[in-house]
């Protein structure tokens, strides 16, 4: 389907194709090319590109690498991308997916057919949840809120399973005898499914979205590449570590789920303190937000930069006077730059 996708207006402006950029923006906004909304967005993009060219610290890949490491706002962006991958991969959700039959066996599922059936249900639950969350909920709820709700659901699931395995260690078919134990075992299996829903709403959606949204155009390809390399390194390490973690001579199954619970709790704190809301923000607004002091960005950054200097925001709010003032101000600023 990418054959039918249009190049982004930002890329077209960067490569000097202003006319095609205007046509694409007009198509995306379903407005005429001369509409103030379209014109102002293009002016904002052009100004942002000019600022990025002026801020360049070198040519080739050395320049973007310096910008990622030297400029504080870019370092913060890189931290968000790397930490989202680290916390997401070690929260346990991918481990459950990869080793689902083994985990279901730990919770009392007997027989190869039953384990495969439970695994298949888990796959369907995650698939349906991922589609629903990615296409609807994440944009409707917001990035930060979606991740918070997803982590909370995942945390409750991991805690229940950890408590269950601590109370009923090494549960096997011949040990699941009492009615209470059977009900508790069924509850643990259900919470495995809940953890899949929490993963779909939280880390599975947000770690990729945030990575795609936060970097400025100049360092985007390098930043996202580094983050995704870190993603797969952690995924590989996680898939290799979990079998050893489950051994009785290591962390044991209950210890493994207590570890997942601790990482998930740490992720919840990290989201609350460090992660800003990025839904609906342009790269220009993102630059303003990440220029704030580091201890403010996550908790108050989105609110402090809401509607600053953007005609698009004014149109969304329907404020006619604000639209006129913003247009006039931006036209004057643009003329002065020229």
Domains of the chain from N-terminus onward: 2-65+307-337 (no CATH), 83-274 (1.20.1250.20)
Q: How far is CA 332 from CA 37, 40, 54, 70, 191, in A?
A: 16, 12, 20, 32, 58
Task: Judge whether 216 and 283 are in contact, CB under 8 Å.
Answer: yes
Res. 323 pLDDT band, cuts 50 70 90: very low
DSSP 4: G
Q: How far is CA 197 from the centre of its chain?
A: 15
Q: What is the pLDDT of residue 74?
A: 92
Q: What is the pLDDT of residue 173?
A: 41
DSSP 55: T
Neighbours of 63 (CB within 10 A): 16
Q: How far is CA 72 from the centre of its chain?
A: 21
Q: Is 252 left (phi over 0), alpha (psi -120 to 50) or beta?
A: left
228-249 as b/e, with b when 16 or more CB fall inside 10 Å?
A: eebbeebbeebeeebeebbeee
For residue 9, give both structure tokens: 């207006």
Q: Is the per-residue pLDDT at 313 higher than 60?
A: no
Long-range contacts of the stretch 44-48 (C-beta < 8 A, 24+): 44/282, 44/284, 44/310, 44/312, 44/330, 45/9, 45/10, 45/13, 45/21, 45/284, 46/13, 47/284, 47/333, 47/334, 47/337, 48/216, 48/217, 48/283, 48/284, 48/287
Q: Is the per-residue pLDDT at 91 higher than 90?
A: yes
Q: What is the pLDDT of residue 106?
A: 82
Res. 48 pLDDT band, cuts 50 70 90: confident
Task: Judge whether 305 and 284 are in contact, CB under 8 Å.
Answer: no
Res. 177 pLDDT band, cuts 50 70 90: low
Res. 135 pLDDT band, cuts 50 70 90: confident
Query: Is this structure's pTM higher than 0.75?
Result: yes
Give the whole-angstrom CA distance, residue 79 versus residue 57.
20
- Report the share of the chain in percent with pLDDT over 90: 39
Q: Is the per-residue pLDDT at 198 higher than 90?
A: yes
Taking all residues of the chain, what is their mean pLDDT, rounded to a whole number?
83
């Amino acid at each position: 389907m990418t054959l039918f996708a249009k190049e982004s207006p930002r890329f077209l402006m960067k490569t000097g194709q202003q006319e095609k950029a205007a046509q694409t923006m007009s198509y995306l906004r379903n407005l005429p090319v001369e509409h103030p909304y379209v014109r102002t967005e293009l002016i904002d993009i052009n100004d942002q590109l000019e600022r990025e060219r002026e801020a360049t610290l070198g040519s080739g890949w050395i320049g973007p690498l310096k910008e990622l490491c030297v400029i504080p706002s870019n370092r913060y962006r890189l931290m968000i991308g790397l930490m989202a991958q680290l916390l997401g991969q070690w929260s346990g959700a991918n481990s459950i997916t990869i080793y689902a039959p083994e985990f279901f066996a730990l919770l009392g599922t007997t027989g190869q057919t039953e384990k495969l059936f439970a695994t298949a249900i888990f796959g369907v639950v995650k698939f349906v949840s991922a589609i629903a969350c990615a296409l609807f909920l994440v944009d409707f709820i917001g990035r930060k809120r979606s991740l918070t709700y997803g982590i909370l659901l995942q945390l409750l699931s991991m805690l229940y399973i950890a408590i269950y395995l601590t109370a009923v260690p090494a549960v096997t078919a011949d040990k699941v005898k009492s009615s209470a134990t059977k009900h508790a075992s069924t509850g643990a299996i259900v919470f495995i499914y809940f953890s899949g829903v929490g993963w779909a709403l939280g880390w599975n959606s947000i770690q990729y979205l945030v990575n795609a949204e936060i970097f400025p155009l100049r360092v985007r390809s390098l930043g996202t590449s580094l983050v995704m390399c870190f993603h797969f390194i952690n995924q590989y390490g996680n898939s290799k570590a979990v079998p050893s973690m489950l051994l009785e001579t290591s962390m044991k199954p209950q210890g493994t789920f207590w570890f997942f619970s601790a990482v998930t709790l740490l992720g919840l704190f990290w989201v609350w303190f460090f992660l800003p809301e990025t839904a609906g923000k342009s790269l220009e607004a993102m630059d303003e937000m990440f220029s704030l002091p580091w201890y403010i960005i996550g908790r108050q950054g989105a609110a402090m930069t809401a509607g600053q200097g953007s005609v698009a925001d004014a149109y969304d709010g329907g404020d006619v006077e604000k639209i006129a003032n913003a247009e006039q101000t931006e036209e004057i600023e643009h003329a002065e730059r020229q």
